[in-house]
Amino acid sequence: LVFDFGIMASVLDPKQKEEFLRLPNYVNFMVFLLTSIIVSSVLTFLWQMLDIMIPNESSFLQLERRRQDWQRHHLFKSTGADEQDLAPTRLSRGSSSEHTNFRNLPDSSELC
């Protein structure tokens, strides 16, 4: 963050502006440092609050995951699978080449 103290001094009355500009350099540096710390702390706090308020998953994604969990539950229950089989399955990288491409299989119209 860059602060221009000339703008800050222009907000002051002419008498206060002269007093501000006559301050020693170390006082101006301390004012700049304190202002920078305060502004960066406030911006960091706002950033963290927005991060808390905005969820990582959209409501659509949460709905789809619940729907898929429900479908998986009913599918496994209808086949008599155990509760341990209800864990979500994920593909690892590079394993997609090992799976069958069902697009190449004949469909029901071609079988007749």
The 10s digit of each residue's pLDDT in 17-48 is: 777 778 787 887 887 788 888 989 999 999 99
The 10s digit of each residue's pLDDT in 48-86 is: 999 989 888 888 998 999 999 888 888 777 776 665 555
Do 1 and 39 touch, CB atoms closer than 8 A? yes
Residues 6+ apart with CB under 8 A from 8: 20
- d(CA 95, CA 112) in angstroms, rounded, equals 34
